[in-house]
Amino acid sequence: MVQKLLILGIESSCDETGVALVECEVGSDPEQVPELLAHALYSQIVMHQAFGGVVPELASRDHIRRVIPLTQEVLAAADCRLSDIDVVAYTRGPGLAGALLVGAGVACALGAALGKPVLGVHHLEGHLLSPFLSADPPRFPFVALLVSGGHTQLMRVDGVGRYVLLGESIDDAAGEAFDKSAKLMGLAYPGGPLLARMAEEGNPKAYALPRPLLHSGNLDFSFAGLKTAVLVQSQKMVAAAGAPSFEALPRVQQCDLAASTQAAIVDVLVRKSMTALKETGLTRLVVAGGVGANRHLRSQLNEACTKRDIRVHYPELHLCTDNGAMIALAAAMRLQSGSQQASAHYAFDVKPRWPLDTR
Ligand code: KG4
Ligand code: ZN
């Protein structure tokens, strides 16, 4: 029997509160892509900027303030009532424990009050499936390059819930490499997008920075050494110019270091992705996570994939970073594929650390 389901998705794993409504059909074509009806987002970035990074306790408290108004906002935008919701999905992990507890608590309370089942979603699965909401959705199987603030992973994806880890960062994630390098350059948190903007004005070959683990013979990444190399290079530049700080250097020099840093990160991500495609023999690449918004990464991947006749898929730009749409979508795709059922047990836990390939 074909059943239409309205799914409310709540994301609260870090510093963004995201809520969305997705509609899907269960019992029909399992490959039918669910429809995003509405989504709303509140970013706490400005609040955390004063501290140079996310303050977990402030994040939790702010999720409490935002989650109900955002839910009301998406219901109004989709012209739906609370009682129309069939399933309440929430991010169960990984992420900040307190922040996750807010979303899980609200989702399970809502489910209990409405008498509707709930479903806990893996945050990275949300990112990984988010390109299905784009104008050019992928098909299984594919290689996924997950590049967020907390994770850098290459996965083989054969279907919903069928994930094999091929390689991952052994220290900093790609997003962290962007953010920490940006901090060294005096840019505000999270500096990734700001560094990327400066990089567009700079010369990516100006400074030779290391490409860690490029020839390691496996698909793991390491970005901690790059951050140190950026620090050493910036100190050399400041000393050579007799400047009081990196920010006091001529803009062209700052942009050149930004471009060289971005080029080093992107180079490693592109080359390892191509190796993963070659080793698996797959011909589709899906890029997901906040760093997937990076324009240089997209242009380099497009070029490398075109050469090898590989199809590459990205999430819509506004769905690259954390959002509720990907959580509602992942729940919808799990229900459609039959790989997970929603539950009417409202006791909940969260999983701050939770590998995606061991569900
Ligand atoms: O996926 P996401 O929203 O959060 C996590 O789940 O971690 O990713 C956030 C990360 C941050 O490190 C941010 O600096 C980075 O994605 N990011 C970018 C760009 N946009 C976001 N990094 C480089 N270039 C961008 N355009
Ligand atoms: Zn994320």
Q: Is the peptide bond before 117 cis (omega within 30 degrees of 0)?
A: no
Q: Which pLDDT score is estimated for 359?
A: 40
Pocket of ligand 1 (CB under 6 A): 14, 127, 148-150, 175, 178-179, 190, 192-193, 196, 289-291, 293-294, 321-322
List, for the chain, all residue ranges whose pLDDT scores fall below the cut of 70.
358-359
Cα separation, 31 vs 23, whole angstroms: 14
Q: How far is the CA of 27 from the centre of ligand 1 (A)?
A: 36
Q: Is the peptide bond before 94 cis (omega within 30 degrees of 0)?
A: yes
Torsion angle of alpha carbons 32, 39, 331, 134, nearest 10°?
40
Mean pLDDT for all residues in the chain: 96
Nearest-CA residue for atom 3 of ligand 1: 321
Question: Can you say whether the dihedral through the CA atoms of 290, 295, 296, 298 is positive or negative?
Answer: positive
Which domains are present in the chain?
A: 3-130+320-358 (3.30.420.40), 139-314 (3.30.420.40)
Q: What number of other Cβ atoms are within 10 A of residue 1's Cβ?
A: 5
Q: Which pLDDT score is estimated for 201?
A: 98
Instruction: Extract the tokens encoding 7.
Output: 């799914």
Q: How far is the CA of 192 from the centre of ligand 1 (A)?
A: 6
DSSP 189: S
DSSP 223: -
Q: How far is the CA of 322 from the centre of ligand 2 (A)?
A: 5
Condensed to tens digits (0 to 9), the pLDDT of residues 96-139 reads 999 999 999 999 999 999 999 999 999 999 999 999 999 999 99
Cα separation, 15 vs 60, whole angstroms: 9
Q: How far is the CA of 287 from the centre of ligand 1 (A)?
A: 13
Q: What number of other Cβ atoms are within 10 A of residue 185's Cβ?
A: 22
pTM for this model (two decimals): 0.96
Cα separation, 145 vs 175, whole angstroms: 13
